[in-house]
Amino acid sequence: MAETIPDLRRVPKPRAYSELIGHTEAILDGVDDVVTAMSTVASLVHHAFGHLWTGFYRVVVPGQLLRVGPYQGTLGCIDIAFGQGVCGTAAAEMRTVVVADVEKFPGHITCDSRSKSEIVVPVLDKKGDLLAIFDVDSERLNTFDNDDQQGLERLMSWFAATA
């Protein structure tokens, strides 16, 4: 199987996410391995949109600690506590956080100084427990909006149906 990754950088976002979600679901058909799914999703989103950093922080101590991986991009911080930075805030509050300018987010954790804006989406399992958070960072200010939130939340619903 030689799957390709679509280039969605110039496609209007609602259509881009529909295409990406269809593509992802086709590739993950029959997959029940969460690490395989996370790796595949990180690769697809990262390369389809040309992001700076794209990946998961998994819950390793429920309510307390996130740990990096799988991801695409430069080195991510290894551990993030619930409540810390954008990722820890999304985990603690179980909600998507969109940051237009990371310098204006108190406590933002800088793993790569090129990161200017980001979106972080909670990933739930079948039981509704927090499995991970999905973090996407951009080199440009104000990259993410409601279309990204809706598209990525739909993409992450694969885990709630499967994991």
Instruction: Provide, rounded to whole angstroms, the least separation between the CB of residue 91 and ligand SME.
Output: 9
Per DSSP, the residues of 31-72 read: ---HHHHHHHHHHHHHHHHT-SEEEEEEEEETTTEEEEEEEE
The span of 12-20, 23-31, 35-43, 81-89 binding ligand SME (CB under 6 A) equals 81-89
Q: Which of residues 46-65 bind ligand SME (CB under 6 A)?
A: 53
Q: Which of residues 11-40 bind ligand SME (CB under 6 A)?
A: none
Does residue 148 belong to the site contacting ligand SME (CB under 6 A)? no
Nearer to ligand SME, 11 or 77 (CB): 77
Q: Are 5 and 24 in contact (CB under 8 A)?
A: no
Q: Which of residues 123-142 bind ligand SME (CB under 6 A)?
A: 135, 137
Does residue 108 belong to the site contacting ligand SME (CB under 6 A)? yes
Measured distance CA(57)–CA(123) in Å, rounded = 10
Q: DSSP secondary-structure letter at 98?
A: E
Return the half-sphere exposure (C-beta side, CA atoms, 13 A cut-off) of residue 4.
4
The span of 9-17, 20-28, 74-82, 143-151 binding ligand SME (CB under 6 A) equals 74-82
The pair of structure tokens assigned to 70 is 């799988």
Q: Which of 20, 37, 59, 76 is in the footprint of ligand SME by CB under 6 A?
A: 76
Rg of the chain on CA atoms, in Å: 15
Does residue 92 belong to the site contacting ligand SME (CB under 6 A)? no
The pair of structure tokens assigned to 20 is 């990406």
Q: Residue numbers of the site for ligand SME (CB under 6 A)?
A: 53, 76-77, 80, 85-87, 108-109, 111, 115, 118, 135, 137
